[in-house]
Amino acid sequence: MYGRRMRTRLAVFLAGVLPLTVVAAPAQAAPPTVALGSVIPAPVDVRPSGGGFRITARTVIEAPAAARGVAEQLGEALRLRVVGHAPPRTGKIALELGKVNGKPESYRLTVDKRGVTLRSATTAGLFNGVQTLQQLVPVSGPRTIAGGEIIDYPRFGYRGTMLDIARHFHTPGEIKRHIDEISKFKVNYLHLHLSDDQGWRIQIDSRPRLTTVGGAAGTGVDGVGGGFLTKADYRDLVRYAASRHVTIVPEIDMPGHVNAAQVAYPELTCDGVAPPPRTDTAVGYSSLCIGSETTYRFVEDVVRELAEMTPGPFIHIGGDEAHATTQADYLTFQKRVLPLVTKYGKTAYGWNEIAAAPEANVAVAQFWSSATQNPAVAAAVANGTKVIMSPANLAYIDQKYDPTTRLGLSWAGYIEVRKAYDWDPGTHVTGVPESAVLGVEAPLWSETLRSLDDIEYMAWPRLAGIAELGWSPARDWESFRTRLGAYGPRWAARGVDFYRSPQIDWAS
């Protein structure tokens, strides 16, 4: 618009009237090093825009009192102050409670050079948005977040993993560290496998020998898995999990997998003789005494006490590998026990064998078969049963990655990262439409796992992939493997001993 001469005259004029102070340009945010969509699970709708927001020491987190818990967690993670109201023109990350799109757990994240706004109708949605936001902050270097908008919400409401603390007990501290990690990928259910042939891991007041005997030192696989959760431990875990928007699902496996209970209470056998304690890994040899009323008084005591310390909706009653129980007795057992769970206000949840029982139409079946057809499950689904997908050949993260994996089992086949990722829970089983699928769960059995390090090595990165199957609308292996490779340094920074799969190009 101005010719060069004019510009010169203008510059001379301005120089004469304006003090020659150099107006400091706004701190140019260093370019963002994490793309707005580089998040696991992949968000639904990502709209990058220019610019970005640079977090500095002066940045604050602004949140209403109702969102203080989530805000404090973010503040701790980013080492930023949390305030109720930030002064105007302060660079801030504002958490807001308000409508986004009416979908459960949804949130909207907006980033521009002035700051970040995270909005959701619920604290669960804010928690989800905070997990996403933390992945957008570079793990090192200038903390510039890419500009743009993300609108996000889950495909399935149930995104779970199971930790077997029966074969080898894991301490509350280890379980809390695992909760910290699973919640970063928006996993929102933790199924605890609390009893099995080798051990009983939850205190039941009316049956103290379950833990004084079944949870004693020397129980567990190879006799090195002893220990148990007191009720106080369990209640503290429930509270801790809830603060990370994870719901605990307790499992008492019945009528099979009961040797530890029968060692503690021989009256739970039909001949009243206590079986020898077992520290091997065989399955399918034990059964409660189906025709005895003593059995149902026991089951009711356990279900009642579990229900009163479990705020979550589910009580898992196992039901798998009841090879020492006749099918007729199995159905008799389910007919008596499934209503007991309902009586104490909970939804029954069991391995998919329970689907054979007509009473299972009010229960949730956990599909663990490696097949993609199961007439009993399809029939139960037609009758109202809902399903959680945990196909052993794809989602059992206790299986070895490949023949060289030191830990884990291999009866369901080797499961590398891509195999655990490249399947669709909504269409996996014939006769189980997406409308009957509550979600996914990745079981981690502990026959060969003794430490948190072992848990981490088998869980990560496969559980991150299964978390994406539970959350994101569609899967894309190339996109996932790229985002996963970029995520590696975050696990490394937290000391998580993840498996560096050769299928992934791991960033350093």
**445 counts as binding ligand IFG under rule CB under 6 A:** yes
**351 counts as binding ligand IFG under rule CB under 6 A:** yes
Least distance to ligand IFG, CB of residue 94, Å: 45
Least distance to ligand IFG, CB of residue 409, Å: 5
Q: x/- contact string, 278-317, with ligand IFG (CB under 6 A)?
A: -----x----------------------------------
Least distance to ligand IFG, CB of residue 410, Å: 9
Least distance to ligand IFG, CB of residue 412, Å: 7
Q: Indicate the DSSP class of residue 309.
A: T
- In terms of Cβ atoms closer than 10 Å to its own Cβ (0-12, 13-18, 19+), residue 259 is buried
> 3-state DSSP call for residue 325?
coil
Distance CA 388, CA 441 (A): 7
Among 321, 353, 434, 456, the one annotated catalytic = 321
Residue of 300, 321, 329, 453 that binds ligand IFG (CB under 6 A): 321
Instruction: Please count the other Cβ atoms lying within 10 Å of the Cβ belonging to residue 11.
Output: 10
Pick between residue 169 and residue 445 the one whose CB is nearest to ligand IFG: 445
Instruction: Please state at what angle helix 452-459 crosses helix 172-183, rounded to 10 degrees.
Output: 20
Least distance to ligand IFG, CB of residue 282, Å: 9
Pick between residue 62 and residue 320 the one whose CB is nearest to ligand IFG: 320
Pick between residue 97 and residue 283 the one whose CB is nearest to ligand IFG: 283
CB 354 within 8 A of CB 319: yes
Pick between residue 59 and residue 448 the one whose CB is nearest to ligand IFG: 448
CB 214 within 8 A of CB 262: no
Distance CA 133, CA 129 (A): 6
Q: Of 25, 24, 22, 93, nearest to 55 (Cα)? A: 93
Pick between residue 107 and residue 368 the one whose CB is nearest to ligand IFG: 368
Q: Where are the beta strands (DSSP E) in 55-188?
A: 60-62, 81-83, 92-97, 107-112, 115-120, 144-152, 158-164
Pick between residue 156 and residue 368 the one whose CB is nearest to ligand IFG: 368
Active site residue 72: no
Least distance to ligand IFG, CB of residue 351, Å: 5
Phi and psi for 45 in degrees, rounded to 5?
A: -135, 115
Distance CA 170, CA 150 (A): 37
Site size with ligand IFG, rule: CB under 6 A: 9
Q: x/- contact string, 384-423, with ligand IFG (CB under 6 A)?
A: ------------x-x----------x--------------
Pick between residue 48 and residue 284 the one whose CB is nearest to ligand IFG: 284
Q: Indicate the DSSP class of residue 409.
A: B
Least distance to ligand IFG, CB of residue 440, Å: 15
CB 389 within 8 A of CB 377: no
Pick between residue 283 and residue 362 the one whose CB is nearest to ligand IFG: 283
Q: Indicate the DSSP class of residue 502.
A: T
Q: What's the start-to-end Cα distance of the chain, in Å?
A: 50
Amino acid 107 reads Y
Residue of 367, 368, 401, 498 that binds ligand IFG (CB under 6 A): 368
Q: Which two tokens stand for residue 101?
A: 């799109």
Distance CA 81, CA 153 (A): 28
**320 counts as binding ligand IFG under rule CB under 6 A:** yes
Least distance to ligand IFG, CB of residue 400, Å: 11
Quickly list H helices, 39-170. Answer: 68-78, 123-136
Residues annotated as part of the active site: 321
Residue ranges that bind ligand IFG, judged by CB under 6 A: 283, 320-321, 351, 368, 396, 398, 409, 445
